[in-house]
Structure 1
Amino acid sequence: MAKLRKVRRKQKFRYSVNRKRLKQKQESKGKFESVVVKRAWVVQKSAKANLKDMGLSYDPNVTIKSGFDKRWNEEKTDTEVRPSKAYVADILEKEAKAKRVRNFRLPDGQVRYLIYLLKKYGTDYKAMVKDKKNYNQETWKQIKAKIEKFKKIPEQYAEYLNSVNE
């Protein structure tokens, strides 16, 4: 059966697409972000076998048993075999539990606005509400919350303290 004229009209060849790069991207197996997993990976083994050796889960639905299925209720008393590359799972767990450095920063415009309010009104939040630059019509509690957040960012709050001391 012939294609509809409308459908054929919509199909256009995209000349700008690099077909070679597209094919390479499709055939590639992907890249590892974790150096530990990359070093422990054996190319000859399947993904499932590699992850099992490292003590990691290939399918979380099998690992984390949930639901009312009868087979989950029957506990298996097999002796657990420690994976040969268990150190990988341990290192990944430590990395996940490690504290992250918060890189949160407020936008520069908002910082300038808050510094302006603090210089002009100090801690009088109710006066800040009536300021002409409060065009978003924020309540005093919203402004207070923003200022509290601003005070918790040391490098940006230091800017304000330096300008006050001068």
Structure 2
Amino acid sequence: MPSARKHRRKKMQQIPRDRKQLRRKEKKQKSTNIACKEIRNSWDASKTLQQNMKEMGLAFNANKALPIPRKLPLPKIIQNCDLETKSAVKKPEVLKAMEMEVELGEKEKQLRLPSDDVQFCTYMLDKYKENYKGMCRDRKNVFQLTPKQIRDKIRTFKRCKGQYKLYLDSKQAAHTDVEMKT
């Protein structure tokens, strides 16, 4: 006969962990994630936010950095502020790198639509021009898009510079062929 006593599996003990390492890891995870590469590279974790910003020549509080009194014209204020900050800057390479980035300009995002959407938009534009209500009633509007949805889809198509340029070029080539034949 089996015994009346139930045998339960013993729970595994927790694996000993280095608490100091865990705290360091948590501290790293809690630290702010800085998007700007130049600021991230010259950041000193032992200093406060205001101290870091001041060393880099950046303003923590724009209202304190550029006070705008009603009496003085704006250009004089900006010139005075530039002189004060340049003397306190300990890490000028951050400012220079950020200025170079601004001069280069922002990279344009290459937006691309799926080929089905491009065919739909080109067909609708060729047939209806800007008549979105007419596009809404067309047989090729399989997904039953409303006029505003079609308008938005065509606007995104026009924002896709490469694809829209191909459409315009093909339309221009077709137009010149018609003129040559007549």
TM-score, normalised to structure 1's length?
A: 0.52
Code of the aligned partner of 2:99: E
Q: In the alignment, does 2:112 pair up with 1:112?
A: no
Offset of residue 125 of structure 1: 4.7
Alignment size in residue pairs: 133
2:147 counterpart SS class: coil
Superposed CA RMSD in Å reads 4.4
Aligned 1:6-155 pairs, distance under 5 A: 24=26, 28-65=30-67, 80=84, 81-97=87-103, 98-106=105-113, 110-118=117-125, 121=127, 124-126=129-131, 128=135, 131-134=138-141, 135-138=144-147, 147=154, 150-151=157-158, 153-155=160-162
Tell me the TM-score normalised to structure 2 length: 0.49
- What CA distance in whole angstroms lies between the structure 2 residues aligned with 1:111 and 1:25? 49
Per the alignment, do residues 25 and 110 of structure 1 end up closer, same or farther by CA in structure 2, a change over 3 Å counting?
Answer: farther
How far is the alpha carbon of 1:37 from its aligned partner? Answer: 1.6
Structure number having the greater helix percentage: 2
1:88 deviates by 0.7
Q: Which has the greater radius of gyration? A: 2
Using a 3 Å threshold, how does the CA distance of structure 1 residues 109 and 64 change in structure 2: closer, same or farther?
farther
Shift of 1:146: 5.8
Q: Distance in 1 between matches of 2:114 and 2:102?
A: 29
Identical residues among aligned pairs (%): 27
- CA drift of 1:49 comes to 1.3
Q: Which runs of 5+ in 1 are unaligned?
A: 1-19, 69-74
CA offset digits 1:110-159 (Å, max 9, x no partner)? 3232133356x3x75556565234544538xx75x865753552443477
Residue by residue, what CA displacement relative to the aligned partner does 1:23-56 show, whole Å, maximum 9, x if unpaired?
A: 9269722233333222222233222111101001
Structure 2 residue runs of 5 or longer lacking an equivalent are 1-21, 71-76, 174-182
